[in-house]
Amino acid sequence: MVNEFMQSSLPHIYAAGDVCHANWEHAQHWFPMKLWTQARQMGCYAAKCMSGALNKEEILQDFCFEIFTHTTKLFGYKVILLGLFNGQKLGNDYEILFRMTKEHEYVKLILQNGKLQGAVLIGDTDLEEMCENLILNQLDLSSYKEDLLNPDIDIEDYFD
């Protein structure tokens, strides 16, 4: 178990990645998952915390713990998972919007009460920045829902 500064219960011992559990109150759209992206983020943050402790500097928790993100490639397609991409922590009270263009893209958006909670983006969708901002800002998208995934509307420019 590590605290919000990646410190274990032993003095001067820090841990990151698969060997630890994040034992702090998690942000609404972040959760721990044993992935190389989180291990790398935790390792960098642990180094920052060690340096801060050594130099007696104030350390603010890293932004990477605000929203779950994972990026990889699968069968040549870019795969991006954002926030509560599979409805984690939402119970049954959410809706899914999706768009699929065969051999080009797959987009799945998770909304709860009209607000974006997570996304799965496969292919070159160019929606990752927009989705990340909409998850973090919690803008009510109820009036845009029908057009969010309309391929004829440049929705990412609208919310940029």
Residue 56, Cβ neighbours under 10 Å: how many?
6
**Greatest mean pLDDT range, 24-28, 57-61, 106-110:** 106-110
Q: What local confidence, expressed as pLDDT, does residue 160 receive? A: 65
Concatenating the DSSP letter of every residue in 1-51 gives -B-TTSB-SSTT-B--GGG--B-SPPPTB------HHHHHHHHHHHHHHHH
Q: What local confidence, expressed as pLDDT, does residue 3 receive? A: 95
Q: What are the pLDDT digits (tens) for 112-154?
A: 999 999 999 999 998 999 999 999 999 999 988 878 888 888 7
Q: Is pLDDT above 70 for 51?
A: yes
Mean pLDDT computed over every residue of the chain: 92
Report the C-alpha gap between 47 and 118 in whole angstroms: 29
Q: What is the pTM of this model?
A: 0.87
Stretch 91-120: mean pLDDT: 95
Long-range Cβ contacts of 103-111 (<8 Å, 24+ apart): 107/149, 109/148, 109/149, 110/83, 110/84, 110/85, 110/86, 111/141, 111/145
The most distant pair of C-alpha atoms in the chain lies apart, rounded to whole Å, by 57
Look up residue 54 and give its two tokens. 């050594």
Stretch 56-81: mean pLDDT: 93
Residue with token string 């920052």: 48
**Is residue 94 a contact partner of residue 111, using CB atoms and an 8 Å limit?**
yes
Stretch 77-84: mean pLDDT: 97
Residue with token string 């919000």: 4
* Domains detected in the chain: 17-65 (no CATH), 69-158 (3.30.390.30)
Compare 160 and 23 and report the one with higher pLDDT. Answer: 23
**Is residue 151 a contact partner of residue 125, using CB atoms and an 8 Å limit?**
no
